[in-house]
Amino acid sequence: MQCVFCRIVRGELPSKRVYEDESFLAFHDIRPKMPVHILVIPKEHVALFSDYPDDESGERKLGALYRTANRIARQMGLEGYRLYAHVGEKGGQEVFHVHVHLLAES
């Protein structure tokens, strides 16, 4: 699959990784908008947040994604941070593989 983030997961493209487990990967955004700008992604390819089913399995996967973002922020010792996601082209999404932006001053 040509998805950029899938290629990062497979190690075919370089990334500055900050966290990895069985299901998730986090790495520095290539064009940081704040001193800390991390992308947290599921290893499984899902294009849009809105593709997650509106049921317990979707709830589990979305919850686990945000829990992972919190875990990374905690491990980095961040006291305050922003978490956000773009959904769809009209929502400003450029890379069609689900990701949460984690941003902080330091």
Which residues are near ligand AMP by CB under 6 A? 4, 13, 15, 29-31, 39, 86, 92-95
Least distance from C-beta 80 to ligand AMP, angstroms? 20
Confirm whether 97 is a catalytic residue.
Answer: no
**What is the spatial distance between Cα 55 and Cα 62, in angstroms, rounded to a whole number?**
11
**What is the spatial distance between Cα 65 and Cα 14, in angstroms, rounded to a whole number?**
22
Closest CA to 98 of 54, 45, 61, 59: 45
Least distance from C-beta 102 to ligand AMP, angstroms? 11
Q: Which is nearer to ligand AMP, 47 or 57 (CB)?
A: 47
Q: Which is nearer to ligand AMP, 4 or 78 (CB)?
A: 4
**What is the spatial distance between Cα 41 and Cα 47, in angstroms, rounded to a whole number?**
11
Q: Which of the residues are catalytic?
A: 99
